[in-house]
A and B are shown apart, each in its own frame.
Chain A
Amino acid sequence: MSLTPASYRHRLPLSLSVAAVVTAVSMALALGLQTLDNLREDQGRNALRLGHAMSEILVQALLHDDVWLAYSLLRGPEKDAADATWILIDAGQRIFASNRPERFRLDQSLEAALPWLPVAAFSPDAPAPALVRSIAPQDDGTRRVLRLTLASEGGPVGELIALLSDRPFLARFREILVGGVLVTAAVLAVMLPAGWLWGRRMASPLMQLAACMARVGTEDARQLRCQIPESDSEIGQLGRQFSAMLAALAEKGALEQQMLQAERLAAVGRVAAGVAHEVNNPLGGMLMAIDTYRQGQVLDARTARLLDLIDRALQQIRGSVSALLVEARGDSRTLAPTDLEDVRTLVQPRLARSSVRLDWNMGLASALDLPAAPVRQLLLNLLLNAIDAAEPGGAVRVEAGIDGGQLAVRVENSGRPIPAEQLAHLFEPYPEQRPHAQGLGLWICYQIVSQLGGQIRVASSAERTGFQVELPLGTEEAP
């Protein structure tokens, strides 16, 4: 297991939490150390002030040999709680008074009491300035020493020494630290969940994107519906790029599908045409042979009946085969608006029978450069299909118009949608799903449109199914 979690879902909030903890701890430490420094400085300054304040009376005590006066001044009102250890020494470098009388005995020599303290040279001319000096920490906790020379009429009579340690305010310092830790903990108790939530929120668009990307390739790009983060951040940009990529993928898929279908239909068309030709040739021969035979002989009734039977069967074969062969360019007559109106008239009986309402919108004013017969057949087939599909009481809507150099025809009907699996094979001859129908209507439509160089599309939703046909004008030749 790796020390750093892999997912940003954990890494982000964790980083935020660690940053919060580190900040809080370093703040508390810095504040604590600063406070300790300030406390030490204050202690030194207070000791200096106190030493100066006491110096005059201590000089008197030294001059009058009044131990009690010096002691009662040094011990102050606090006694044990005093901040510093005060030692008054006389001119003979012997202890005269201290607020720690048991430790620093009266009349003890300073050297014996504080061996580490350098002997101060008493110089009558220039008494040493009173200073608080830091020293190497001693066993008793002394870290700083104040030395104040006491002089009377210019002559030194003694020295006041204060031993300063951190002990008096260590408790306070500890309180400050504990307070800092508690406040930090309280802040963290609020910050951590907030940071965690925030981190998760920041990471969630990445999660969405990652989840969505994981589906690419396993699912159809056109059906892929992903929640893409929307923001101006880099993640938002990434999301938009990703959506664009998905859209391109879907388009490509649709195009491929369409091409595949077109190729399949073209192949089917070629096969049908080929078969029709192969069948038609011997068929023509056979029919001709029967005809010749009829004219050349006197037939008995039985033979004549037999020949009639064969003739009708062969005619039927020819009819079926030529139904597969659509010849769109055979007609040279151009399409007039009346051709379309004819179609409307032709379907009236069917409409009446099915009680389907027709909504007819024709935006054509003049003749178009399109062969009339195939377009009539195309419209008729689509319209009959639509009336079939629209259940009784339904409606069919037809629209036609010129749009950018091509004739656009749209036929819509209400009713049940066409299932997706049927849509893929809708234009093939004899579709499996509609065995009861004759099965060549849409195939013929497709052939006509293809031969006229146009396009036919179908779209089916829950309420409407629509066929959209676009036929280019004035293009005699299609590839």
Chain B
Amino acid sequence: MLTRRDLLRALGLLGISPVGCHDAIAAREAENPVVGARPALRFGLTPVILDDRVAFLRLWASWLERQLGRPVVFIQRARYREIMDLLLRGGLDLAWICGYPYVQHRWELSLIAVPRFQGQPKYRSYIIVGADSPFTALRDLEGGLFAWSDPDSNSGYLYPRVALLEQGQDPDRFFRRTFFTWGHRHAVEAVAEGLADGAAVDSYVWETLARRVPELTGQTRIILRSPLFGFPPLAGAPGLVPTDLQAIRQVLLRQDQDPIGRQLLDELNLDGFAPAEPGLFDDIAAMAARLDAGRRT
């Protein structure tokens, strides 16, 4: 039966928040009059991480506030593109974005840091299928139902399409039907619940879910692991002041040395943050170019 919660959930899926983000900022500033002297740092989040854990994000924001000495506001959107638009048009100071949109805008954005996952600033794309399904390889999914995470996701869109191209398949016709789940977690759910035959997801999200919600990932099986790519980076907006950028980078790079910061990283299932060169994302850039070329031909 439908409850009010379901309707709120439906509204949330449409991106209509009952509380506007500006109200949220005002509320936070009112709560912290001491740090309210400087404008809040606007930190955009995308579903490259499990961004649905409000309590954790609040703790991380307050830790960052103490480290930076200024308010920090997390701004979340359901789709990568909305965050990218905000980031490029000055609506955000920094954002945790995917490598694919980063390489598309790498000349405008500054690289602040890259998370270290399982010892290195890298991750993969997983092609997953239902645990009980007969599929063992990507080509078995021909004519099936496939869930992409987001059209701006490397692991959830770019890589599987390029992989199909490399197998000589047309990614737009290989599957009978595809759809976007707007988030890696949703892609895992779509496969686990039988909505899709297969999906492409972020290895970091899948592994983190496997640690936290093993009964969900237990209903899926990985049939393809991509090569390693640069982990979704934290990118600064074009207008981010260099001193601020440095300050933020210093805080993030030292987060694993702070006891509370360490716990927060554990919650994120990350080892820490590392400085990074744009070259880390060259593979993704190459794939993006390949896909563009494929489109043009």
A: residues with CB less than 8 A from B are 46, 49-50, 53-54, 57, 60, 65-69, 71-73, 75-79, 83, 101-102, 105-107
Q: Which residue of chain A lies nearest to B11 when distances are taken between CB atoms in the complex? A: A57
14 A-B Cβ contacts within 8 A? A53-B7, A57-B13, A66-B180, A68-B186, A72-B10, A75-B193, A76-B2, A77-B3, A77-B5, A79-B193, A101-B193, A106-B145, A106-B177, A107-B176
Across-interface contacts of B127 in A (CB, < 8 A): none
Q: How far is the CB of A59 from chain B (nearest CB, A)?
A: 12
| B205 interface contact, C-beta 8 A | no
Given that A60-B14, A105-B145 are known contacts, is A77 also in contact with B6, CB under 8 Å in the complex? Answer: yes
Across-interface contacts of A106 in B (CB, < 8 A): 145, 177, 179, 195-196
| B89 interface contact, C-beta 8 A | no
Q: Are B193 and A68 in contact (CB under 8 A)?
A: no
Across-interface contacts of B147 in A (CB, < 8 A): 68
Q: Are B9 and A77 in contact (CB under 8 A)?
A: yes
Q: Is the interface of B mostly helix, strand, loop or mixed?
A: mixed
Q: How far is the CB of A52 from chain B (nearest CB, A)?
A: 10
Q: Are A54 and B10 in contact (CB under 8 A)?
A: yes
Q: Which residue of chain B lies nearest to A75 when distances are taken between CB atoms in the complex? A: B193
Given that A68-B180, A107-B145, A107-B177 are known contacts, is A101 also in contact with B13, CB under 8 Å in the complex? Answer: no
Q: Are B1 and A83 in contact (CB under 8 A)?
A: yes
Across-interface contacts of B193 in A (CB, < 8 A): 75, 79, 101-102
Distance A50 CA – B182 CA, assembled complex (angstroms): 25
Distance A119 CA – B6 CA, assembled complex (angstroms): 30
Distance A75 CA – B145 CA, assembled complex (angstroms): 18
Total A-B contacts with CB atoms under 8 angstroms apart: 63
Distance A66 CA – B182 CA, assembled complex (angstroms): 10
Across the interface, B179 reaches (CB within 8 A) one of A60, A67, A73, A83, namely: A67
Q: Mark B182-206, 1 if CB is under 8 A from A, else 0.
A: 1000100010011110000000000
Distance A302 CA – B65 CA, assembled complex (angstroms): 178
Q: How far is the CB of B221 from chain A (nearest CB, A)?
A: 16
Distance A240 CA – B177 CA, assembled complex (angstroms): 97
| B154 interface contact, C-beta 8 A | no
Q: How far is the CB of A69 from chain B (nearest CB, A)?
A: 5
Across-interface contacts of A69 in B (CB, < 8 A): 13-14
Distance A454 CA – B1 CA, assembled complex (angstroms): 106
Q: Are A102 and B180 in contact (CB under 8 A)?
A: no
| B110 interface contact, C-beta 8 A | no
Across-interface contacts of A105 in B (CB, < 8 A): 145
Q: Are B7 and A101 in contact (CB under 8 A)?
A: no
Q: Are B190 and A68 in contact (CB under 8 A)?
A: yes
Q: How far is the CB of A130 from chain B (nearest CB, A)?
A: 15
Interface centre among B179, B181, B194 (most CB of A within 10 A): B179
Q: Are A71 and B10 in contact (CB under 8 A)?
A: no
Given that A66-B179, A105-B145 are known contacts, is A71 also in contact with B190, CB under 8 Å in the complex? Answer: yes
Across the interface, A101 reaches (CB within 8 A) one of B2, B6, B194, namely: B194
Distance A60 CA – B147 CA, assembled complex (angstroms): 19
Q: Are A49 and B186 in contact (CB under 8 A)?
A: no
Distance A419 CA – B178 CA, assembled complex (angstroms): 122
Q: Mark B106-127, 1 if CB is under 8 A from A, else 0.
A: 0000000000000000000000
Distance A371 CA – B234 CA, assembled complex (angstroms): 155
Q: How far is the CB of A66 from chain B (nearest CB, A)?
A: 7
With contacts A67-B195, A68-B181, A107-B145 known, what are 15 further pairs, Cβ within 8 A?
A49-B2, A50-B2, A57-B13, A57-B14, A65-B179, A68-B180, A68-B182, A72-B9, A73-B6, A76-B6, A78-B1, A101-B190, A101-B195, A102-B194, A107-B177
Distance A73 CA – B2 CA, assembled complex (angstroms): 10
Across the interface, B1 reaches (CB within 8 A) one of A50, A68, A79, namely: A50
Q: How far is the CB of A64 from chain B (nearest CB, A)?
A: 10
Distance A76 CA – B13 CA, assembled complex (angstroms): 12
Of residues 103 through 153 on chain B, the ones whose CB sits less than 8 Å from some CB of chain A are 145, 147
Q: Which residue of chain A lies nearest to B187 when distances are taken between CB atoms in the complex? A: A68
Across-interface contacts of B195 in A (CB, < 8 A): 67, 71, 101, 106
Distance A421 CA – B1 CA, assembled complex (angstroms): 97
Task: Give the 8 A-B CB pairs with smallest separation, nearest first.
Answer: A102-B194, A67-B179, A101-B195, A50-B2, A107-B177, A68-B181, A101-B194, A73-B10
Distance A175 CA – B28 CA, assembled complex (angstroms): 51
